[in-house]
Amino acid sequence: MTIQIYNTLTRKKEPFIPLEEGKVKMYVCGPTVYNYIHIGNARPVIAFDTVRRYLEYRGYDVTYVSNFTDVDDKIIKAANELGEEVGELTDRFIAAYFEDVSALGCSKADVHPRVTDHIEDIVQFVKVLIDKGFAYESQGDVYYRTQKFEGYGKLSHQSTDELKVGARIEEGIKKENPLDFALWKAVKVGEISWESPWGLGRPGWHIECSVMAREHLGDTIDIHAGGQDLTFPHHENEIAQSEAMTGKQFARYWMHNGYINIDNEKMSKSLGNFVLVNDIRKQIDPKVLRFFILSVHYRHPVNFSQDLVVSAENGLARIRTAYNNLKHRLATSADLGDQKDIWNYKVNEIKNNFELAMDDDFNTANAIASVFELSKLANVYLVEKNTQSDVLKHFIHTFDGLMTVLGLPMDEETGLLDEDVETLIEERITARRNKDFKRSDEIRDELKAQGIILEDTAQGMRWKRG
């Protein structure tokens, strides 16, 4: 079955057919780097990292580009307030971004272009738009002439008349039409700026993505993604710019993720109700956060609260425990060569359901349900007295594959125990053998206080950190 993607452009799920067979060009709008990212910013990074992983799992060669907006009003303001150079500030938060996002299990993009590295390309692009009549200079600014672009509004499904009602009117004097937006902004006193045919200035916000997407992926890209709030005006404007430039379709599939809410309200930097990834990941296992976010379909809102995260934590622990129990059992199992087909068949069936879920517009909620079913099946299998190494390995291999798609690779309980802990464990084993349960329980409690949980199983004792 082909992958179905909900395309904002058509408001329908469509079969995913990349422009070039086997290859996917993907562009995801990245952050404006003037602060640490909050978990709302992290959602698209996680969601589309997962999309990318699944496409790769399905054999596609994905080229993934995600930009940094490293010059803009908010950055300039923040730099001024902190008495820092714009470049220093953005370097700092880009580094922080990579740390945060990698903790959340997101791979780096193939390219992370920065606006300030593309000023010359942007100037050239704007020049052409002016030449083509799609843009005009006005008092050192350059604006996009939205009236001239026939498809304006096609992504947000609004007619220009409807949009006009809500359009902001300040700066209206400089614009021919309130819907027009800035491609180039004339410098204000003390601001960072670059030379251009229209004098000193800097790029507008929307132009960067058109330019960098084209620069790194070409005229037409397969998937363009970002948060729901970017649909209008940002993505709408990108389409206007790029398609006016090339005369070709800019992006074939537009994907937009839903928000993360706090108390049922959008989390945003401007509302001030945000939770920084940098803070929260020190309190909560970042993988739990990822798991939590993926437990809801990417287009639906996620409500964030401590209770819900705890519930996600318990859920993920169930999966991890099942996996670790499989590994533990492997040590005492051999290949018996019988009955394995039934179990392998069931495992494959679950894997298949996982793929069907992901095929259906990356339904990670259902995909995770499949992983829970796999955990259940594994646990049921582990109840059997005689387990076979082949079956266990098939379970483990399947877990590894599916969890890698979700960006939640299973890590084993590794690391060695301290010598004195080892000694205590030895002592406990002897105590239990002698039915000295008092001493045995003492040791178990003592180690538990140190964060080491001992479990006695039919296949011997095992420990885990908890």
In the complex with RNA, the residue whose CB is nearer, 216 or 297, is 297
Is residue 203 within the footprint of RNA (CB under 7 A)? no
* Whole-angstrom distance, CA of residue 194 vs CA of residue 369: 52
Is residue 257 within the footprint of RNA (CB under 7 A)? yes
CB 405, CB 57: distance < 8 Å:
yes
Q: Which two tokens stand for residue 314?
A: 């318990």
In the complex with RNA, the residue whose CB is nearer, 127 or 278, is 278
Selected binder of RNA within 230, 251, 402, 424 (CB under 7 A):
230
Selected binder of RNA within 7, 25, 31, 240 (CB under 7 A):
31
Is residue 204 within the footprint of RNA (CB under 7 A)? no
CB 115, CB 211: distance < 8 Å:
no
CB 258, CB 302: distance < 8 Å:
yes
Provide the 8-state DSSP code for 415.
S
Is residue 266 within the footprint of RNA (CB under 7 A)? yes
Residue 24 Cβ, how far from RNA at the closest point, in Å? 20
CA dist list (Å): 289 to 263, 283, 353, 354, 459? 17, 11, 24, 21, 33
Is residue 14 within the footprint of RNA (CB under 7 A)? no
Selected binder of RNA within 51, 123, 322, 391 (CB under 7 A):
322
Residue 237 Cβ, how far from RNA at the closest point, in Å? 9
User: Hey, which residues between 152 and 181 contact RNA (CB under 7 A)?
Assistant: 156-159, 162-163, 165-168, 181
Selected binder of RNA within 116, 146, 325, 398 (CB under 7 A):
325
| DSSP assignments along 184-223, one per residue | EEE--TT---B--TTSSEEE-TTHHHHHHHHHHH-S-EEE
Q: Which two tokens stand for residue 140?
A: 């050192």
Is residue 205 within the footprint of RNA (CB under 7 A)? yes
Binding mask 357-376 for RNA (x = CB under 7 A): ---x--x-xx-xx--xx-xx
In the complex with RNA, the residue whose CB is nearer, 73 or 128, is 73
Residue 429 Cβ, how far from RNA at the closest point, in Å? 10
In the complex with RNA, the residue whose CB is nearer, 1 or 59, is 1
Is residue 394 within the footprint of RNA (CB under 7 A)? no
Selected binder of RNA within 7, 41, 90, 398 (CB under 7 A):
41
In the complex with RNA, the residue whose CB is nearer, 31 or 203, is 31
* Whole-angstrom distance, CA of residue 180 vs CA of residue 174: 10
Of the candidates 412, 440, 414, the one whose C-alpha atom is nearest the C-alpha of residue 427 is: 440
In the complex with RNA, the residue whose CB is nearer, 31 or 105, is 31
Of the candidates 365, 359, 352, the one whose C-alpha atom is nearest the C-alpha of residue 297 is: 365
Instruction: Tell me the number of residues near RNA by CB under 7 A.
Output: 84
| 142: enclosing H helix or E strand | strand 141-144
Q: What angle do CA 202, 207, 211 make, to 5 degrees?
A: 110
Is residue 379 within the footprint of RNA (CB under 7 A)? yes
